[in-house]
Structures are given as C-alpha cells and as structure tokens.
Structure 1
Amino acid sequence: MTSGIEATFARLESAYASGRTRPLAWRRAQLDALRRMVNDHRSDLVAAIRADLGKPAAETMLTELNLIAAETRFVRDHLRAWTRRRPVAMPLALQPAAGWTVAEPKGVTLIIAPWNYPALLLLEPLADALAAGNAVCLKPSELAPRTSALIARLVPRYLDPDAVAVVEGGAAQTGMLLAQPFDHVFYTGGERVGRIVMKAAAEHLTPVTLELGGKSPVFVDGTCDLAVAARRIAWGRFTNAGQTCVAPDYVLATPDVAHRLAERIAVAVHEFYGEDPRRSPNYGRIVNDRHVDRLCGLLPAGTVPAPASARPVSPLVKAASVFGAAADMVGRRLGMGGGASRAADPRAADPAGRVVCGGVVDRETRYVAPTVLFGTSPDAPVMREEIFGPILPILVVRDADAAIRFINARPRPLAAYVFSRDRATRLAFERRTSSGALGFGLPLGHLMSARLPFGGVGASGMGAYHGKTGFDTFSHMKTVTVKPSHPDTLRLVYPPFDAVTRRVIRLLRRLG
C-alpha cells in the first residue's frame, strides 16, 4: 500500500512538474468537468449519502450538491481576474522600478475530508485547488464508505487522472499520505486528528489549512422574534441530525425568554419532523454505533426509553410551561456568573437538564431524536465537548454581558450566533467575542456562500476557503520586481558611504 501511495504521489508530482495544471484552459476544463460530474450523478450521490448518513435527498441537494456546483461556477467565472498581475507601487529609493504580485499554484495538494458532509467537504475545496492550478490528492472519509467508493469511481472518469487522484482507506492510509511531501494539506475534521495532521505536515514544513470545530454558541434575548429564532435554531441544529461543524451547539438565553424558547424549539421540531421524527423522511441518522453510544452518554440519566416508540413532542411542549417560571427565577439568580442552572426545574437533578422534547434513541437504526434540554449545568458532560449530534442544551444567563463572559471563558468556536434586535448587543458580540464567523439571526449562512470566507480561529481551525479566499489558500502570492539597467540610480546608495551617500539616505528617509 505504501508503494501505491508513493506511486500516486509521484504521478501527481510529475503532472504538476510538466506544467499541465497551470494554463487557465486546463483549470476551466477541470472545473467544468467537476460540475458536470456532480450534475450527471446527483441521484447516485444522493443515494450514497443517504446510505451512509440517512440524509434526506432534499437536504443533500441543498447543503452539499448545490453548493459544490455553485462553488465551481463562481471560481471559474472569476479565474481571469484572480490570476492577473496586481501592480504594487515601489519605494522612491528604487525608482525607476515596478512591482507586482501574481498568484501561482502551490503544487501537489492533499485534501482530507470528514464523513458528515462527505461530498461537499471533499469536492468544494477541490474546486478551489483546481482553480488555483494544483495537482490534487483526495482522501474521502472511510466512515462514509458508499460515498467514498462512488467518488473514487467517478473522479478518474471526469477529471485528469494524472493530476487528480483519490486514495481510499482509513487511518493507516491517511498516515501514509501525510508522510509524503505535499505542498499543502487541507484537513476538515476534529481537533485531535487536526493536531496529528499538523505535526505530520511540520516534518516537511508543509503549510496546512485546518477546518476543525468546537462548541458554537447561540445567544437569544427578548428583543428577537422568538418564533423565528426557534425555527432557525432548530433548523441549524437538527439539519444532518446535528452532525454539522457550525451547527448551534448550545443556547444561552435570557430569563425572560429561556423557557418559552425551549417550548418553541420543540414546536419547531414537531413542525419539521412530525409527531415521531423517526418516521420522517426529512430527518437523518447518526453515522455509526460508536457515535450513537457517545451521544447517549450526553443525555440525562434515564431519558432513553426502549426503541419501540418515539416520545411525542406535543405533550412535552405543554409540560415545559410548568417549569418555565422556575427557570426564570434561577436564571435571574445565576446570570451574574454567566452560566445556567442544573436546577432550572426543582425536579431536575441531572446536570444535563430536563428533556423538553426527544431523548429517544434506537441504536439498531442509529436514530437519535431531535432533543432539547433545559436547565443544563455548565459542567454537564454535554457541555464539555462538541456535541456533533441532535442534542441542544439551553442555559439561562442574565444578559448579553454574562453570555459574552461565558463564551470568552471557553475555546474560540468555529461560529457564534446572536438572535437580538438590539444594536448595542450585536455590536458587543462583534467587538468582544472571537469566532470563525458570527451570524446575526442566521445559523449556517456563511457555510452556504461562495463569497464569504469559511474558517476557524484558535482551536476551531486555521486558514479559510470558499471563492477568492479558497483560491488564495491554494495559491502562493509571488512578488515580482523589475528595475531597468539604465539609469542605474542605485549608484547613489552603493558603498562606500561618503558624505554624498549619507545625504541621499537622509533625504530618502524624509521623503519616505
């Protein structure tokens, strides 16, 4: 296998060295072929992703295939402008002279994709890498085996097989790939593997882009339209069964809206997926048994019933109002600390909080119901790691200032979302918090735009892509300078540094 991976790398390196990937005609042809591949095999990709993740067809179209097509079209349409020379003014000391920057490909690049969006997060960065003129090695996730196998079959049929390759396999194959001296490594996934990727890349001084994750917070106060906020939060959290890196991970709500928000999110779940989401064709599944078991460990004790029937939502929504007043009281008392109460309902002894809706797991079918928790403690297991599943804890905080302190006390997230109409509150989040992206009234929005950079900060990642930013990520911005031989004005500053030379240098300092 090692020799096979080395041979694949050598083939890509030879193709890049030949210069075949640099012409704009080649880049456009590859981008056209990539878009054609996705369009020709939409039904095949939908079926493969559904087999791997149980994802509804419409959701796959909206959140994966349409975005790949849009990215390829956008970068293709802007290639000529992005590859032009960009003139830069030269300092007076060097005149007459000219300077410019020009984007050149980095070389042979490696893209390692995760399982949660197995087509999007492999093929969208591929579009950016091809637009920049690179040879590319693709490593799809082995946890989405049907999608991986399909892409491995399609790519050599549509794209230049000498310059674009697919390597399937697990951790062993990824390790072998990382041992090769790629010119750029692009990784999307978890923080633990991100550290491994970065360490391996450091052996070759290879630059990396890491798209990781983290706990993306949501703040909600009483100035927003609560019904709209609840629907959008529910959509962002439960799309792809919560397996989205920028999904709302937990909610910080002020006491005046916290319990009503929990109820309304439960209502939104009922509207989206019906009385029993397990029977809904619009709701996905967890990727494997290990992740189902992990999510079970984040739920309150005793809230996972036998899988024979799912818990109805609507009776719980009615029951939620019973403990709403208690939540308000506790939130007012504890808001100064920036956290929430494990005792938001006096009867809720579990630090994970009380189940407002969901809490149902069917391990056999990898089903975890859309679950809303209320009265969660900041120290609960569900708050110690990125959930990456359909569980949404709601914590009570006094105000926006308490929420900002809560967020800033934790690693910087990949995204943060604010539902507030108050201008001062929005400005405070923009100026006082740091995250890969910030959305006012809209979760996931930046993920779906080719015109906005997508990336993390700190533990949530480094570097970004999408559109021009993606083109820049896979390009080296080369500086070019030129100065004519005559007149040789540099004679004025050549050694020896006599009195005339020193006067010229002082003059240049004043003019500069």
Structure 2
Amino acid sequence: MPTTAIDTAAGREAAAAAGITISDPRTGEVLWTVPEADAGTVAQAVEVARSAAPDWAAAAPAERGAALKAAARALDAAARELAGLNASETGRPVEEALAGIGAAVSTLEQYAELAPVHRGHSLRGNRLAADYTVAEPHGVAVLLTPWNDPVAVACGLIGAALATGNAVIHKPSERCPRLGEALGEVLAPAFPPGVFLTVSGGAVVGALLSQSEVDVLAHVGSSAAGARIARAGALTGAHVIRENGGNDPLLVDRDVDPAWAAEQAAIGAFSNSGQICTSVERIYVHRDIAEDFTAALQAEAARRNADGSVAPLVDLRMRDQVHAHVADALEQGARALEGGAVPDGPGSFYPATVLSGCTDRMQVMAEETFGPVAPIQVVDTFDDGLRQACSGRYGLAATVLSSNIAHIQQAVAALPVGTVKVNEVFGGAPGGAAQPRGESGAGFGYGPELLDEFSRVKVVHIAAPPSATDESPHSPEEARP
C-alpha cells in the first residue's frame, strides 16, 4: 500500500484476508499480519508515480540532492525504531541492523552529493559545432528489495533512482513488510507527493508491478524471481537491473596461515547467519593445509554455537531449505564436523555448520544455500581449486586467499564473477560497483555507475547556422556521418 496521500482503504479491505503474517524468528510467536496491496492499489500507485515523474525530472539536481539529504537525516533519526522492526521480522541482531541503517544513511548522502555532478560527455566533432550527451531519467522505477539487509540495500536503489530524477515505487520483501512500510513513512515526506511510494505484498504484487507499464525494474533477490522479472521487462520494454543469487567460492592456497584463513572463512560463511548475497557458499582448500584449516574452522563454528552469536534464520521456510542442502550432503558421504542438525526449541535457529568431504555433486556446493554452512572440498593443486571455483551457473563474487601473486592474477583473470576479493572476504572502498554475471544478474549495482543505470542518454549536436557574411555552408567533408 502506498505510504503517501493515496486513498487505499478499499484496497486494504480487499487484501486484508490475504495479508502477510510475520512470526518472530527467535520465538515463533506470531507478531502481526500486514495487508497486501491488490491489483487496484498497484495500478493506482503506478498512475500516481507517472503523474509525479515529470516535475521531479525537471527539478534541479541540487534540489533532488537536498531532498535526499533530508531523507538521510530522517532515516538517521528513526534508526533505532527501524532496527527494532528489522530484529523482530528477520531475526537480525539490533546492533547489526543499526549498522545496516547507518550504511543506508551514508548511501543516501552519497547520492545526494553525486546528483548535482552526474554529468554527460563532450564528443569531438566539427570545431564550429558542439556535441555532448545529456543524462535523463527513465521515468517510473519499480524497486523490489530483499529482507537480509533490507534498509541498506533498499536505500542504495532508492538513492540512485531518485537522484537521477525517477519517481519510485518500492516493494520491500514480504518477509519484513512492517519494516518496509515504516521505511516508506520515514522517507516519503522528504519528497514531493507521489515521487516515492511503498507497496506491500509478496510474489503476486511483485508480478503485478513487473508487468505494469513502468520504465525501470530493479531487483535484488533470488535468481528465480530475477528471471521472472527479466522476462516481464522484455515484454514491457522496461530497463531491468538485477542482483540475484550467488554460490560464491572461497579458494584457499597452500601458502597462507590456516588459522587466519579459517577465520576469514568463518566470517564469510557465518556472518548474518550466512544470509548475505556474497556469503562464502563453498570452500576449496589446498590439501597441504587442509587438515589445519578444517580444524580451525571447526573451532570457529563451535565457538559461535557455544556463545549464541549465530542469529536465527529469517523463518522456518529458509531453515528447511538450508537443512535440506545439508541433509543431501550427508546422504552423499559428507561429514558434519560441527552443527548439521535442526536444534530443539522455538524459532528458526540453525547452528554454524562445517561439512568435510564435500563434492560438487552435492546441493550445498552447487546451489545457493543461504545459511550458516561452510562446505569444504580438498583440492590437490591451486589450479584444481580454481577450476572448481570457476564452475557453476552463478557469477556474483569470489574470494581468493593467497600470497602468490601469480596465483592471484591467474584467479582474477579466470573467475567469471562480478567481484573478486583477495585476502579479505568482506570490505571494499565506498562507492564500489560491479556487474553480476550468469544467473546472478545483470547491470551495475551501487556506486556512481548505478546513476547511469537509472538514466537514459541523449546525444545533442549543435551547429552554428551560416552567418550573414558567410555565404557558403560547411563543406560536405566536415559534415557528421
């Protein structure tokens, strides 16, 4: 339901029976039910955004930047409340949720600064003419965002789309609908009416939005949903931006400290309970250090399980998927050195799990598990590990731990992914962007390049007319082809 001055009472009443029910991931207790938008509400949101888009596109970039700064201030003021909703709906610890919201504030501020300096290019042509490009907004952008870092990811797309002059319809994940609505209520007042709308719902609402006559579809989420959105965009002509699933490999060379490598692996596999797009999903470790590495990673997992630092998965459906991958590996001969079983008690907890003896035939190595699972495959040489790391249909990110510059350069050249991380599983400079490959998506995500994704380019050629004293026009040779 749009969180602006739109009359959605009828839509809410019609959708109330098919609302989204959210349970606390820690206790299993039902928290609330949030109504879903119906087809009429979706159509109304598109109409309102379409009406608001021209004036927002005509606003000066500095004016749009000022609005984004106001939105960032409002988000910062509401951080504690939003972090509490994030913890309630997804199970993410409040301090981690606050860190994500802090990143979102910084992202909005970044795009507020970039908006006035987002520029075109001059083109070399006739010396008496001017050729240049102008960036223009597409129009109406639909943003479909995930639950695993819901505020930070959403604000990356929101900031870039609004900075470039698009009107925005945001559909947050159905796994955190109350948080998504609250985020809309915080941000929308910073912009003119109709420029930023929020619509709640699940896959049906996402399909309705994707099939609407809008200009941009930006999606962060599963590869299956991304493929459906890409097909919808192909039919409507919308520009599609996707960051989708990943099965990110970690390649551990023989010349690194195994304890340090295990710490990196644990950070990559267990942070946010493995529910990060670029989590470590599969590990290839050189045989020479495999025993020490595996023992150290087992100890890291055991420590996290003992101190209760592994938060619950978002819901029971996600836990069922994670455990199905683990059970498949165990049935095919893998060993659970730590974890690997569904715990007793309420909620959707799953322990940090270390699996040895894994092969690429196992789902836990071939698919995106999206849980706190570290599957290990031992390889005889760096080349063997790199070959395995390059396999699969995803292409989001990969990490290489090595002191061998030749191996590092070889991996950078060979890995078919959008981001290669060397000797650090997470991190990177502010403003970084990448282009996912394969089933992991397409188009730049984040950074200054995302402004280009939300813009169309117009080429302008201006020639001087013949002056009153110049009776001959330019020669044909000077004409632009």
TM-score of the superposed pair, with normalisation by structure 2: 0.86
Shift of 1:492: 3.1
Q: What secondary structure sits across from 1:185 in the alignment? A: strand
Matched with 1:365 is 347
1:49 counterpart (81, 86, 109): 86
2:426 counterpart (426, 433, 444): 444
Matched with 2:121 is 86
Matched, 1:288 2:269: no
Shift of 1:208: 0.3
| Residues 21/371 of structure 1: CA separation in 2 closer, same or farther (3 Å cut) | farther
Whole-Å Cα distance in 1 between the matches of residues 284 and 197 of structure 2? 45
Matched with 1:378 is 360
Shift of 1:179: 2.2
Matched, 1:74 2:110: yes
1:435 counterpart (413, 417, 440): 417
Matched, 1:356 2:356: no
Whole-Å Cα distance in 2 between the matches of residues 78 and 20 of structure 1? 16
| Residues 12/488 of structure 1: CA separation in 2 closer, same or farther (3 Å cut) | farther
Whole-Å Cα distance in 2 between the matches of residues 488 and 118 of structure 1? 65
Shift of 1:71: 1.3
| Residues 3/300 of structure 1: CA separation in 2 closer, same or farther (3 Å cut) | closer
| Residues 180/96 of structure 1: CA separation in 2 closer, same or farther (3 Å cut) | same
1:109 counterpart (133, 141, 154): 141
Matched with 1:396 is 378
Shift of 1:291: 1.4
Structure having the higher Rg: 1
Matched, 1:26 2:6: no
Q: What stretches of structure 1 of length at least 5 have no aligned partner?
A: 302-341, 343-348, 494-503
Amino acid aligned to 2:55:
S
| Residues 236/61 of structure 1: CA separation in 2 closer, same or farther (3 Å cut) | farther
Shift of 1:89: 1.2
Q: What secondary structure sits across from 1:239 in the alignment? A: helix
Q: How does 1:163-202 map to 2 (within 5 A)?
A: 163-202=195-234
Question: Number of residues paired by the alignment?
Answer: 440
Instruction: Tell me whether 17-26 or 175-184 shows the greater mean CA deviation.
Output: 17-26
| Residues 115/489 of structure 1: CA separation in 2 closer, same or farther (3 Å cut) | farther
TM-score of the superposed pair, with normalisation by structure 1: 0.81
| Residues 489/432 of structure 1: CA separation in 2 closer, same or farther (3 Å cut) | farther
2:454 counterpart (462, 474, 478): 474
Asked if the contact 1:213–1:456 (Cα under 8 Å) also holds between the matched residues in 2, the reply is: no
Q: What secondary structure sits across from 2:88 in the alignment? A: helix
Whole-Å Cα distance in 1 between the matches of residues 424 and 192 of structure 2? 39
Shift of 1:369: 0.4
Whole-Å Cα distance in 1 between the matches of residues 131 and 57 of structure 2? 27
Shift of 1:270: 4.3
CA deviations over 1:335-359 (Å, ceiling 9, x no partner):
xxxxxxx9xxxxxx74351112222
Whole-Å Cα distance in 1 between the matches of residues 237 and 117 of structure 2? 30
Amino acid aligned to 1:362:
P
Whole-Å Cα distance in 2 between the matches of residues 488 and 200 of structure 1? 55
Asked if the contact 1:253–1:395 (Cα under 8 Å) also holds between the matched residues in 2, the reply is: yes
Q: What stretches of structure 2 of length at least 5 have no aligned partner?
A: 1-37
Matched with 1:496 is none
- Percent identity over paired residues: 25
Asked if the contact 1:141–1:148 (Cα under 8 Å) also holds between the matched residues in 2, the reply is: yes
Shift of 1:428: 0.4
Whole-Å Cα distance in 1 between the matches of residues 435 and 146 of structure 2? 15
Shift of 1:489: 7.4
Shift of 1:184: 0.9
Taking only aligned residues, the RMSD between alpha carbons, in angstroms, comes to 2.3
Amino acid aligned to 2:326:
L
Shift of 1:300: 4.1
Q: What secondary structure sits across from 2:403 in the alignment? A: coil
Shift of 1:200: 0.9
CA deviations over 1:298-337 (Å, ceiling 9, x no partner):
2247xxxxxxxxxxxxxxxxxxxxxxxxxxxxxxxxxxxx
1:416 counterpart (388, 398, 412): 398
